[in-house]
Structure 1
Amino acid sequence: MRHGVVVLPEQRWSRAREQWVRAEEFGFDHAWTYDQLMWRWLRDEPWFGAVPTLAAAAEATSTLTVGTMVATPTYRHPVTLAKDVMTLEDIAGGRFICGLGAGAGGLDDRVVDPTAYSPRQRADRFAEFVELLDELLTRRSTTYTGTHYDVREVPMHPGCLGAPRVSFAIAATGPRGMRLAARHADLWVTAGRPGDFDARPYEETLPEIKEQLARLDEACERSGRDPATLRRLLLTGAMVGGTLDSVEAYRDAVGRFGELGVTDFVVHWPRPSFPYRGSVRVLERIARDVLTVRSEEQP
């Protein structure tokens, strides 16, 4: 099991730097931040940009993999995002994962583009978004014509450090999104039941995560991919709750979701108030009693 943490981009870097450095010191494998213009519950609170935050986090750490959770077509264009991704991966020395999602029609959408997209239109746009981004990051020059994107001879030099490109983590719970993940992703991402922002006890979410994992296996098999080659990341906190209540709860949740097939377990850095309210002291104890022990047991 790999362990990760989401750090909200809400602090000035003079304070935020400590969180990212501590995430590495705690023994987390990866750390993420939300690629949003604003966050649903924190619209009137401080909120900084994901790309410069991740660039600074990569410079401040040496082993921690950093990533977007998640970049969407809402206000990202594949061409400019590809350039940012290539640059972030270079700054991080390869320690970068590009998290991608279709977008949920939230506040960002209404600010940037008030057009109301149907679920099908959103899925169509996301499919082109992923396919074009894949081509941009694997080719020296890309020409692409689709319904949503039309680009001509876009150069991408010098390209990604990793072959054939930086890793993709694709968030998806529907059949079409899962097929995209099966074709293009190194990690599949779920946060639980889509659209449900009532954080239920993690024990109650086990059946639905199990069902999602089964459908992901089917999507891989239909795409001709060995399901074992696709990592499965569970993002807890918004819909899957209780995982940071104590060291025991964390250890139990990791074990039970791991038995289902989850390979990457992600929590949020605890905040003093809603959302993701919790205690950093619990995180410190998890680092000492779970993450450090795990590292010592690895060969």
Structure 2
Amino acid sequence: MSLRLSTVILPYRRWHEGGRSAWSRAEQLGFHAAYTYDHLSWRSFRDGPWFGAIPTLTAAAAVTERLCLGTLVTSPNFRHPVTLAKELISLDDISGGRVALGIGAGGVGFDATALGQDPWTPRERADRFAEFVQLLDRLLSEDSVSYEGDFYSAHQARNIPGCVQRPRLPFAVAATGPRGLRLAARYGQAWVTTGDPKLYENGTSEQSVEAIRGQVEKLADACAEIGRDMDGLDKILLTGFTPDRGRPLESLDAFVDFAGRHRELGFTEIVIHWPIPDSDFAADQKVFEQIAMETPAQLG
């Protein structure tokens, strides 16, 4: 099974002070895709520069030709399906059909209260996410949509001419729980995981692999429930959140070993963070680029 290698470029640099060059370089290195987080701010970057995902991806589309582009991930925390759909259709057009939407339920970080709302409970996040994905699927696939739900509404929302990619741009659904996995099985062209967060602090690499194996098995069950062949669903691992942390990026051999173990679980795409000095994503840029260029040949 072939394994694609992609990167995620956090939007913390001004476009003309390193932002643009990273996206251009990602294409030169041969990455399958380059993603960015869709947050208003994020963790340790909260008090520093942080730019919007959709404008950043639009600018990236203008300086690349082949690279797939996307969010990893968007959530309902501060987005509405009607306005998001219009932005995505525009981005898909500008990029010539190179956009994928990574989408998840969101969490309790800064985005969760930035609009003045109280944090949602896990159940409410799951309820909103289910409705969000269902409505967004229609908005990106139909010329006109009217909808009244528990959380979202649309009144004759027009999205002509629609996506370049038909019937719509692909969804990569981030999920580990039963409800989210069912959404991935029904609406996703890909599934995304970061591993088991309970293992991040004190778990081992072996425990992480087994936990992810369990997630893949639950995804298979969700696909079987609706008669879908799971082999047709791409499986994406966003790295940096397993007990390995940054160790796979310490050398080419370490990364090939890490990627190979997850390819055996059925993953079709591994995403690594573009190095950021003095952060959780610090890594040697030369080793990072070596991994990007040489891993595909190493894995065959």
Q: TM range, normalised to the smaller chain? A: over 0.9
Deviations 1:192-250, CA, capped at 9 Å, x for gaps:
11466549664441111111001000000012211111110000013352221110111
CA RMSD of aligned residues (A): 1.7
Partner of 1:75: 78
Deviations 1:254-298, CA, capped at 9 Å, x for gaps:
11100111111011011111221111111121133224x379x7x
Q: Are the equivalent residues in 1 in contact too, given 2:67–2:98 (CA < 8 A)? A: yes
1:149–1:115: structure 2 CA closer, same or farther, 3 Å change rule? same
2:32 to 25, 29, 32: 29
Distance 2:179 2:264 in 1: 26
1:287–1:116: structure 2 CA closer, same or farther, 3 Å change rule? closer
2:217 to 193, 201, 214: 214
Partner of 1:63: 66
The one-letter amino acid of 2:270's match is: F
In the alignment, structure 1 residue 268 sits paired with structure 2 residue 268:
no
Deviations 1:60-79, CA, capped at 9 Å, x for gaps:
11110010011111000000
Distance 1:10 1:200 in 2: 30
Deviations 1:153-179, CA, capped at 9 Å, x for gaps:
111111011111000011001000000
- Runs (5+) with no aligned partner, structure 2: none
C-alpha deviation, 1:115, in angstroms: 1.5
| TM value normalised by structure 1 | 0.94
| TM value normalised by structure 2 | 0.94
Q: Are the equivalent residues in 2 in contact too, given 1:202–1:243 (CA < 8 A)? A: no
Partner of 2:14: 12
The one-letter amino acid of 1:34's match is: Y
Partner of 1:121: 124
The one-letter amino acid of 2:175's match is: A
Q: Are the equivalent residues in 2 in contact too, given 1:210–1:260 (CA < 8 A)? A: yes
Distance 2:290 2:187 in 1: 36
Partner of 2:282: 277
Partner of 1:89: 92
- Runs (5+) with no aligned partner, structure 1: none
Distance 1:230 1:89 in 2: 21
In the alignment, structure 1 residue 45 sits paired with structure 2 residue 59:
no
Partner of 1:98: 101
In the alignment, structure 1 residue 140 sits paired with structure 2 residue 143:
yes
1:208–1:196: structure 2 CA closer, same or farther, 3 Å change rule? closer
1:158–1:199: structure 2 CA closer, same or farther, 3 Å change rule? farther
In the alignment, structure 1 residue 255 sits paired with structure 2 residue 260:
yes
Distance 2:198 2:143 in 1: 38
Give the SS at the match of 1:69.
strand
2:250 to 245, 252, 273: 245
1:4–1:288: structure 2 CA closer, same or farther, 3 Å change rule? closer
Among all aligned residue pairs of Structure 1 and Structure 2, give the percentage whose two residues are the same amino acid.
46
Most deviating of 162-171 and 270-279: 270-279
The one-letter amino acid of 1:83's match is: K
Most deviating of 87-96 and 194-203: 194-203
Give the SS at the match of 1:127.
helix
Most deviating of 207-216 and 269-278: 269-278
Give the SS at the match of 1:254.
helix
Distance 2:106 2:236 in 1: 18
Give the SS at the match of 2:23.
helix
Residue correspondences, number: 295
Q: Are the equivalent residues in 2 in contact too, given 1:271–1:279 (CA < 8 A)? A: no
